[in-house]
Structure 1
């Protein structure tokens, strides 16, 4: 019997407009009423995750930043896994030398040094996800959305985390050329050791401590509740979801998932724009 359902957000729980469809909301509520716990498992930080979950009135525990931070339903920290500061600064140096834009996540903040690039990148990305939007509409929609998603623009991210005495939990790098440039960077970063490097989309790489992975965090959370892997269901669409797809006794890849990701899941559901999460939940409840 399934006692815990873990779902990725982007490309999974959310549609292409970064919203939780009504069908998914109803399915989560139905599962909860049946005594099944739901936990969101995302690469997002707390502010970005809550922007979508609160809008859908979904109040659940969260595995954030790919497993670097886990909160209970009351938003209290259960545990965190930071990247050592010296190594985080090495990562930032390497990305800057390669001319790759990146942001850093702490428990409470997302920091960036380049607002113009961020808007340009995400408007282009939104235009690809929602082709009905004109370039101007995509830029306007991105600017509006980014005012909702909390991010702090600073002149010097390194000095900011030092001054605020914050731990760096994740570094995310973006490049429009996608794997062409990011694959080479992944190989270079891997030489630093003790890192988990995955992607939530083709145009990014997400860098965490090797122990900050969704599957590890999900296992710790389940064990704290007395739940075994066979009683866990996971749903995801990209490579940062693989660890939890491998851990859970029941696993679903989205219809829009990368082909290689589907090979790790026991089942495949519909896409994120076809309410694949709701259909997977309904299948299990039945």
Structure 2
């Protein structure tokens, strides 16, 4: 039997317009009626994720920031895994020294070092999902999107720590030439700070969390605390920050649009995010579970 369904958002639950397709909504509601709960496990923070879920009428727990924070159905933080403050400062210093665009996430919000760079990044994401769309239209959509309008922009992200005393949960670096810039930096960070975990959710970024702040650890912990057998859990994802939760679940699905390294880890493959891949994965998992019980 299936006991729990866990889905990533970008490139997975969300389609090319960064909305949740009706087929995905219907499948989630169907499993709700069967007594099977649904949880989002995303690189997004609470506000970014909740806007999309509210639009779809889905109310569920949100495991955010790559598994480093858990919000219950009412938006209350149940736990968070922070990066050591000095480590976070050191990482931000490296970013400023190199001149990279950065984002820092806390339990309160997502903070960006540049409004313009955030718009550029979301424009590129929209264009990658809609290759036929013009740059001008993609930029207009990006500028008006919740992914831009809900973000807090700061001249110096380090003041979140030094002046406000906030705990940093996730740091993101973005660059147009990641293979020669931020990815080598990510390797440097992993070597210098073994208590960090470095991954990626988009070809132009790297994301840094605490080593214990991964999706796989978060899903495992959630199952332990709620009495679910992880062998009866469905996880669905598309990118490298999803690998850890795909490895631990009994029914793991990679999107057809997933990176090849993600497909290599998942047990099954579903359709693309713009073809309701989450709904397809849910229906397939239910069939597989039924066959297993027969």
TM-score by length of 2: 0.93
**Offset of residue 249 of structure 1:** 1.1
**Offset of residue 147 of structure 1:** 7.1
- In the other structure, the counterpart of 1:72 is 72
Q: How many Å separate the matches in 2 of 1:82 and 1:270?
A: 35
Note if contact 1:175-1:182 (Cα within 8 Å) is conserved in structure 2: yes
Alignment of 1:40-189 (within 5 A): 40-146=40-146, 149-189=149-189
Tell me the secondary structure at the aligned position of residue 40 of structure 2: strand
Note if contact 1:179-1:202 (Cα within 8 Å) is conserved in structure 2: no
Whether 2:254 is the aligned partner of 1:247: answer no
Q: Greater shift after overlay, 159-168 or 44-53?
A: 159-168
Q: How many Å separate the matches in 1 of 2:201 and 2:124?
A: 17
Change (3 A) 1:161 1:151: farther
Q: How many Å separate the matches in 1 of 2:211 and 2:9?
A: 21
- In the other structure, the counterpart of 1:207 is 208
Q: How many Å separate the matches in 2 of 1:7 and 1:78?
A: 19
**Offset of residue 135 of structure 1:** 1.7
Note if contact 2:143-2:149 (Cα within 8 Å) is conserved in structure 1: no
User: Any unmatched runs of 5+ in structure 2?
Assistant: 288-294
TM-score by length of 1: 0.96
Q: How many Å separate the matches in 1 of 2:276 and 2:35?
A: 22
- In the other structure, the counterpart of 2:230 is 229
Q: How many Å separate the matches in 2 of 1:56 and 1:237?
A: 21
Describe the superposition over 1:55-102 as per-residue Cα deviations: whole angstroms up to 9, x where unpaired: 111100111001110111121211110001110011111122222211
Q: How many Å separate the matches in 2 of 1:124 and 1:37?
A: 33
**Offset of residue 186 of structure 1:** 1.3
Q: Greater shift after overlay, 146-155 or 239-248?
A: 146-155
Note if contact 1:121-1:176 (Cα within 8 Å) is conserved in structure 2: no
Describe the superposition over 1:1-31 as per-residue Cα deviations: whole angstroms up to 9, x where unpaired: 1101110000000012110000000000001
